[in-house]
Structure formats: structure tokens, C-alpha cells
Chain A
Amino acid sequence: MALMKILIAFIIVWPLAGFLFNGLGRNYWSKKVIAYKATGYIMASFIASIFAFLYVQDHGAVSVHYFDFINTDTVKIPFDFKVDALSSLFLLVITGVGSLIHLYSTAYMKEELAPHYARYFSYLNLFIFSMLILVLGDNYVVMFIGWEGVGLCSYLLIGYWFTNGQYNYAAKKAFIMNRIGDLGFLLAIFWLIVRLGTVNYSEVFTAASLAKLSASDITGITLLLFVGAMGKSAQIPLFTWLPDAMAGPTPVSALIHAATMVTAGIYMITRSNLLFSHSAFTQNIIAIIGISTALLAATIAIKQNDIKKVLAYSTVSQLGYMFLGLGVGAYSGAVFHVITHAFFKALLFLGAGSVIHAMHHEQDIRKMGGLKSKLPITHITFLIGCIAIAGLPPFSGFFSKDEILAAAFAKSPIYWVLGLLGAAMTAFYMFRLYATTFLGKFRGTTDQENHLHESPAAMTMPLILLAIASAIAGAIGIPEIMGGQHWLSHQLVPIVGMPVELGLSPFVEWTLMSVSVSIALIALLMAISIYTKKTDQEPTTAMGKFFYNKWHIDELYNATIVQPLNNFAGFLKNVIEKQVIDGAVNGTGKLVQYSARKVRLIQNGQVGYYILFMVFGIILLFILWFNDLAIVRFFYQMTKFN
């Protein structure tokens, strides 16, 4: 146990050390030192995570206590970490993908000045640190610390190029939208504390605790937790920040806004699956919101022309799938999709980064094309990522997506049909992106064409490793009808219980799979045949415009929430602040000045007047006295006490 305590501390101390060294020493170290440090620390953390993972495989879950974070009579919140089947998997994904992306960043951010380079890596290390706390925490409060930490790092990294006002705006948008979700999470934690007096997983997820919660408590808590997940994982209605978050450097988009942070909501719900399983209402809401997000984001992705925007909406859409999985009770399917998605989406983003790098920061796919021969490694790895996300066997996306779709079918065929529609759109927009970027003729300027180059090894190596992972990661969850063991769902039994028997015959399962694969294949071929020759110009149809303009959701939010809030704030500033409050303060001063100007005249130096007023005063006092007024009695009492 003591050994585990050190090992787990080891996992999180490295990124923290990297953050402190790079953050504090940003003006002293050369870029080489910074890059080695930052990447090396995350790799050290990755190695420690492997040991932790192996330990859990052999000895089962382990929970270590460090200190009491909050300790009062009524509630005790220890600072505990827990490594179990779920968190050890997340540890591997976070540190593994994280170290690849750090390695990639060392080359991608080469043009930055050393202090900014160090700032970038210190934020990135801090992000890994926060994310590790999020998944390691043994209670909701520790998870919340990490939860806030990743939100902060996301903000810092989106606004990394802080001289651009637009980017700052995107960063603020992400932060504020996350705050809305965080509030829900926080309220859920408070609710748990009020009802149970504890937030420890080991105490909350027990039959005794569940017996203490009424049905409405569970529904309320799970809905609030889901609001938290909505913000972090970009679901309707809080998803609009994620596409804007593409303002950050591309590796950041890959790490934070595709592979790790946005899956925190799925982690949290999987962690709390016992609560969610007891509220059918919340589960239905999650499934409905998940599938709606998946479809909405997919329709938008079809019409976008910015390479990163397509991937961003694709991420939102895939997250929607994961929530669909959670909503229909396929927790291991959702976690499976998190893992495979982390690989292929990180791969796609890094591939996009490589393209952007080669194109000198051009992100519009209409100006690309024909990059296949110029960027061979990027092209192959990107293609593997596209196939994986489109869900063609034997690449990883196929297994995870089909597990979710099968569970959705068992719950309600409507979910399955909608999911299938989304899968078709996914294949379509991914291969539209692929064909427009890599096939056909080059459409950029000749200057750009002459400078096209494959990225350095520090960038292509992560691509190759992630491509291999995207291709074979499906092996951890091969369904039983294909003769596999589904290692992952057995792995997660301690967390989510035995996988629910879907009650589908092998024939139905095979049919579902072949239908989804053939539909994806048709969409894929359609996209390739259309977009090899031409690119999308400005959309002309009403529907095309609607999707191109992202369903006008940003405008809707602006009109319904942002503008009224701005107006209200303006009202507070111009009327309440400037007139009422300032008016009261200045008015007091003005009143004193005015009355002083008038009363001053009484002091005219004429002794006669003074005496006259004195006499008036005495007479007044007598009148008051004999009328026995309260104020006189009051002063009379005062004189008596003295």
C-alpha cells in the first residue's frame, strides 16, 4: 500500500513539476530544455501509469489516503486517490496520448519564442496534472478540483495566442459555458452532502446510501451531474464553445478538446453509473440529448470548410454517441468509444495540424487538395483515422460504435435508426474532408505549393503510433459473436457491473453490423466521388445555408441570452450604478453642500441674532418638554445615565 501511495503520487507529481519548472523558469531555459522536460515528465508519468495499471490487473482496485481535505463534524472529505479498472484505463489514455501530443507539440510550436514556448508547455503539463486528479480522485470533491483545473487549462490554452481578440473571446466563451455546467456539478455535490453527508465513491455507491435517497433525489442529483457533463463534454445546449475552442493551437485541440478533457463527462457518469441506473428519467434525457447532439453536430460538420471546425463538430457528434451509449446503459461501450475516439480523433487533429503546418497556417480545405503525394505519412495516417471514425472493420471505431448502436437498438430501434443516420453522416463528412484535402488537384497558391513539405519526425512519429493504435484498439472489445472475449467489458465489471444481456440473436447483431458498415461505406464512396473533383462553394439551398451557419445557434444564444444579459448589465451600469447609486452618494454630498450654503448665512456675526436663536431654542425645548415628546424623553434618559 505504501508503495502504491508513492507510485500514484509519482504519476501526478511529474506533470506538476513540469508545470512549475517551465512556468517559473520560462525566461531562463532554451527551447530544447523546455521540450525535453515537458515531454519527458509526461512520459515518466505514463510509465508510472503502466505500473499502476499492471498492479490493478493483479491486485484489484486500490485506494490511498493522503490527507484530510475538509474535516468538520458533519462532513469529512479526504484527499484520496483511487486506481481501479476505470481510472487506470483513463490514466493510460491521458498520459499515453498526452505524451505523444507533447512530443508532437515540440515540433509544431517550434516558431514560438522561448518564453511562450515554455508557457505553452507549462499549461499543457498543468492540464495533464488536473486531468489526472480528475480521474484519480476517490470522491466527487477531488474530482471537482481536477474538473475545474482542466477547465482553467482549457481556457488558458484556447487563449494561448492572447494578442488575438477573437481567440480571447473564444477562450472566455469556453470558460463561461463550462462554468454553467460546473454549477450543476457543484449543486449535485452539495445535494449529496446534504442527503448523505459524504461524497466518497465507496460510501455513495452502496445500497445503504441509495436507500437514503428518494427517487426525486436521485433524479435531481443525476440531472445536475449531467448538466456538469453537458458543459464539459459539449452536449446540447452547452456545445457551442467546443468548435470555437479550435482557436487554440492544434495539439491542444487534439489533447484537450478531442481526446481527454471533453470525455471527463463520460468518465463522471460512468463513475456514477449506480446512481444513473436508478433514474430511468435521467437516462432517457441523456440518450435523447446524446443522439440529438450527434445528429446536429454531424449536419453542421458536413458543411464546414475549416479543417479544424469539421473535426470539432465531429468530436461533438462522437461525444453525442458516447452519451447515447450512457443513456441506454452501455457504460462499457461508452468507455470503449472514449478510448478509441481518443486515439483516432487525436490522430485526426494531429494530422490536420501537420497539414496546417505544411500549408503555412492555412485551414480552409477549399484551398488544399492533392496533398496525398506531398505529405505521404500524414496522408496514410489521416486516412486510417478517417476509416476508424467512419466505423469500417477491422478499425477500432467500428467495434466501439457498433457496441453503442447495438445497445441502442436493444433499447429502442428509433435510437438505432438515428444513430445509423449519424454514422452515415460521419463517414460522409470525414471522407469529404479527406477527399478535399488529400485528393484531386492542389488549389492553393503556387507559393504554398512550392513550400509543401512533410512534417519532421517529432510530428510524424506520434501520427504513426496513433494510427497503429486507431487501427488495433478495437481488439480490446471484440464482441463475443465474432469470437472475441470483449476484454474491456470484463475489465469494467467492478465499476459498471456485468454487461447487460441485450437479448439480441446473433443473426440480428450481424444484420445490424452489416447494415451500419454498408451504409457507412456508401456514404464514404459518395463523398469521395463528389469531392475528389470539386469543392463546396457557398451553399445555395436553404438547408445547406442553415447547416453552413451552424443552425444559427450562436445567433440564437446571442439573441436570447447574451444580448438580454448585456442589456441587463448595461441597465445596471448606466441606470442603477450611474444614476441610483452614484445619485445617492453624490446627492448626499450635494444636499450637505446646499444646506451648508444656506445655513452658513445664519452665522452672520450679529450677536443679537445668536441670542435670538438661543431664545427660540430654549422656547422650543420648553414646548417639547411640556408636550412630553419621545425625543426629549430620550435625551432626558441619556442625561440621567450620564
Chain B
Amino acid sequence: MSIQYYIYFCLALFSIGVVGVLTRRNAIIVFMCIELMLNAVNLLLVAFSKMYYAMGIKGGVVSNAGIDAQIFVFFIMVVAAAEVSIGLAIIVMMYRNTHSIDINFLNRLKN
């Protein structure tokens, strides 16, 4: 399978994430869209790594680059999970304060 398919797919996922962040007002959906962007990048990382590994085999050079990226992605997911817990906590606090999770109410810092 060509690398281009992965790139287009990740681009689509990422764009969906961007558009979601820009257009949606619900904090949880915005948050999910951010996660979508993050995972799009993760997926791209794994894909590049895998393809690079494959190229190495074809050219007769053995490389373990593919495994490195997969380990990276695990780390990223762990960090993302931690971040999600903080993010959700913020949203909970926001709901407690404003009785809403609409991010347009987050403009209290204005003026």
C-alpha cells in the first residue's frame, strides 16, 4: 500500500479535527476534535515509520526505525491520556462555574 493513502487519510482526519475545533461550541466536542488531530498525527508517524522500514528491507538495509515510532506513539498516547484527564477536569470545573460547557462563555477574561 502506498504511503499517499495514509497521508490523505491523516490529512482528512486532521482537517476534520481543525474544522471541529473552529466551528463547534461544545467544549467536549472541541476536546474530542483536538484528540482527533493528535491521533491523526500519531497515525502519520506510525505510517511513515512503517514505510521507511519497508523501504529499508527493499534496499537490502535492515532498519528498526518502524519499531521506534510505535514506541513513541505509545508514549504520546500515555501523555495524551493524562492530558485528557486534566482537560476533562477543566471542563467539569467550567460547568460548575458557568453551568454550561459552551466555549463562547469562556470570554470572561475580556476587558
Contacts and interface: CB of A to CB of B under 8 A. Distances in A.
Interface majority SS on B: helix, strand, loop or mixed?
A: helix
Interface in B96-111: 103-104, 106-111
A73 B18 CA distance: 75
Nearest to A606: B107
B10 interface: no
Interface string A94-135: 000000000000000000000000000000000000000000
Nearest to B21: A611
7 contacts: A605-B110, A605-B111, A606-B104, A606-B107, A607-B103, A608-B23, A615-B22
Contact of A615 (B18, B103, B110): B18
B106 A607 contact: yes
Contacts of A611: 21-22
A604 interface: yes
Interface string B21-38: 111010000000000000
A603 B25 CA distance: 18
Contacts of B21: 611
Interface in A591-612: 603-608, 611-612
B67 to A, nearest CB: 30
Interface string A592-636: 000000000001111110011001000000000000000000000
B61 to A, nearest CB: 29
A608 B18 contact: no
A604 B104 contact: no
Contacts of B106: 605, 607
A604 B110 CA distance: 6
Nearest to B107: A605
A596 to B, nearest CB: 16
B11 to A, nearest CB: 12
A340 B25 CA distance: 107
Given A606-B104, A612-B22, 12 more contacts: A603-B110, A604-B107, A604-B110, A605-B106, A605-B109, A607-B104, A607-B106, A608-B25, A608-B103, A611-B21, A615-B18, A615-B22
Interface of A: 603-608, 611-612, 615
Nearest to B103: A607
Nearest to B27: A607
Nearest to A604: B110
B20 to A, nearest CB: 11
Interface in B31-71: none
Contacts of A603: 110
A378 B86 CA distance: 112
- 4 A-B pairs with the lowest CB-CB distances in the bound complex, closest first: A605-B110, A605-B107, A607-B103, A607-B106
Interface of B: 18, 21-23, 25, 103-104, 106-111
A605 B108 contact: yes
B110 A608 contact: no
Nearest to A618: B18
A606 B106 CA distance: 7
Contacts of A615: 18, 22
Nearest to A615: B18
B13 to A, nearest CB: 16
A607 B107 contact: yes
A199 B108 CA distance: 81
B6 to A, nearest CB: 19
A607 B31 CA distance: 13
A639 B110 CA distance: 33
Contacts of A612: 22
Nearest to A608: B22
B22 to A, nearest CB: 6
Nearest to B111: A605
A83 B93 CA distance: 101
A615 B109 CA distance: 22
A606 B103 CA distance: 8
Contacts of B104: 606-608
Contacts of A604: 107, 110
Contacts of B108: 605
A601 to B, nearest CB: 11
B52 to A, nearest CB: 23
A604 B107 CA distance: 8
A615 B37 CA distance: 13
A611 B22 CA distance: 7
Contacts of B110: 603-605
A606 B22 CA distance: 11
Contacts of A607: 103-104, 106-107
A604 B109 CA distance: 9
A1 B106 CA distance: 97
A267 to B, nearest CB: 81
A605 B111 CA distance: 8
Nearest to B104: A606
A272 to B, nearest CB: 81
A605 B105 CA distance: 9
A611 B107 CA distance: 13
Contacts of B22: 608, 611-612, 615
A611 B24 CA distance: 12
A608 B107 CA distance: 10
A96 B102 CA distance: 104
B91 to A, nearest CB: 13
Nearest to A603: B110
A394 B104 CA distance: 114
Nearest to B18: A615
A15 B103 CA distance: 90
A611 B104 CA distance: 13
A434 B18 CA distance: 108
A558 B106 CA distance: 74
Contacts of B103: 607-608
A612 B103 CA distance: 14
Contacts of B111: 605
Nearest to B24: A608
Contacts of B23: 608
